[in-house]
C-alpha cells in the first residue's frame, strides 16, 4: 500500500470512528486537527499526498498525521513493492509446523506443568496428528467413560487418570 492509499484509508476509518458513516473529507481532517491539536496541515498538502503528487511526508507532517490518526509514524510511508503482511516461513512440511507449534505451546504453558508436559510429549511422539485425531474423538465421550477406558488399558502402577 502506498502513502496515498494509507491516508485515504485512515480518513475512511476515522470517519467511521467518529460516527460519520463515511470517510472524513480532507477539509474535515484539517479542521479537526486544528480544533483538537492546535496544529494542522493545509488541505492542499493533504490533496497532493493523496493524489501522489507528493510521495513523502516531512518529519513534522508525519508526526502530526500519526498523532491525529493514532498510528505509528512508520506506518505513514509507502510499503516496498514486494512487501507482504503475510507471515512467510521456510518450514515446508505440515508436521514441522505442528511440532514447532507444540514445542512453543509447551513453553507458553510452562506455568501449568500438566499442559506443558502434554504438549512436550505430543511434540515428541512419532505421529502427533494421529493422537490429536483420537483426542478429538475422545472429547465426545463422558469423562467417566474415558477414565474407565484409560484405567483398563494402563498398568495398575500408572493410575494418573
Domain ranges of the chain: 3-75, 94-153
CB 94 within 8 Å of CB 107: no
The string of pLDDT tens digits covering residues 132-142 is: 999 999 999 99
The string of pLDDT tens digits covering residues 58-67 is: 889 999 999 9
Judged by DSSP in three states, 61 sits in: helix
Is 13 exposed, middle or buried, given 0-12, 13-18 or 19+ CB atoms closer than 10 A?
middle
Q: Given this model, what pLDDT does residue 91 score?
A: 47
This model's pTM is above 0.85: no
Q: Which helix (H) or strand (E) holds 69?
A: helix 59-69
**Which whole number is the average pLDDT over 105-117?**
85
CB 23 within 8 Å of CB 47: no
**What backbone torsions phi and psi does residue 52 show, to the nearest 5 degrees?**
80, 10
Instruction: Name the CATH superfamily housing domain 3-75.
Output: lambda repressor-like DNA-binding domains (1.10.260.40)
Amino acid at each position: 500500500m502506498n502513502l496515498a492509499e494509507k491516508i485515504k484509508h485512515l480518513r475512511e476509518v476515522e470517519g467511521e470512528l467518529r460516527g460519520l458513516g463515511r470517510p472524513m473529507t480532507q477539509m474535515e481532517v484539517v479542521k479537526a486537527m486544528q480544533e483538537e491539536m492546535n496544529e494542522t496541515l493545509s488541505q492542499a498538502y493533504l490533496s497532493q499526498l493523496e493524489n501522489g503528487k507528493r510521495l513523502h511526508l516531512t518529519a513534522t507532517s508525519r508526526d502530526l498525521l500519526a498523532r491525529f490518526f493514532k498510528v505509528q509514524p512508520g506506518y505513514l510511508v509507502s510499503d516496498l513493492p514486494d512487501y507482504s503482511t503475510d507471515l512467510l516461513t521456510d518450514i515446508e512440511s505440515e508436521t514441522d509446523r505442528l511440532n514447532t507449534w507444540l514445542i512453543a505451546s509447551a513453553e507458553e504453558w510452562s506455568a501449568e506443568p500438566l499442559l506443558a508436559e502434554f504438549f512436550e510429549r505430543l511434540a515428541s511422539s512419532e505421529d502427533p496428528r494421529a493422537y490429536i485425531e483420537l483426542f478429538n474423538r475422545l472429547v465426545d465421550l463422558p469423562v467417566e467413560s474415558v477414565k474407565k477406558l484409560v484405567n483398563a488399558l494402563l498398568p495398575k502402577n500408572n493410575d494418573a487418570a
